[in-house]
């Protein structure tokens, strides 16, 4: 297992959280690339890993507790109650989990 894998915009949550990964991370990246083809810009353009996981959570919500418990890097992004540490990015924006809908972002429902 490598410590740096996948470009940030296409990086799967398991990589960010330090969870042992499988080939499923490639499907995540593929989905991100397909969304980019459809929209013309990256769906999760994080400026760093904290912003990246925050962007993902805006759309996908907070990862399940059993997933977070596997994360070696969980404490960087979540508190002891498995709630996200809400921090502002370089533009002062604080991203909140579950506040965006994928269909709205992609402007389609299929």
Per-residue pLDDT reduced to its tens digit, 19-50: 998 999 999 999 999 999 999 999 999 999 99
**pLDDT for the residue numbered 1:** 55
Give SS3 for 78: strand
d(CA 2, CA 57): 24
Task: Name the CATH topology of 8-98.
Answer: Transferase(Phosphotransferase); domain 1 (1.10.510)
Token look-up 């805006």 returns 58
| Domain range summary for the chain, segments of one domain joined by + | 8-98
């Amino acid at each position: 297992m490598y410590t740096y894998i996948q470009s940030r915009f296409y990086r799967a949550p398991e990589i960010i959280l330090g969870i042992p990964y499988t080939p499923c991370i490639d499907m995540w990246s593929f989905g991100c690339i397909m969304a980019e083809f459809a929209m013309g810009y990256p769906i999760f353009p994080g400026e760093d890993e904290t912003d990246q996981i925050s962007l993902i959570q805006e759309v996908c919500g907070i990862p399940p507790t059993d997933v977070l418990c596997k994360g070696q890097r969980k404490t960087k992004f979540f508190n002891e109650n498995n709630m996200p540490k809400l921090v502002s990015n370089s533009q002062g924006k604080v991203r909140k989990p579950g506040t965006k809908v994928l269909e709205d972002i992609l402007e389609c429902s299929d």
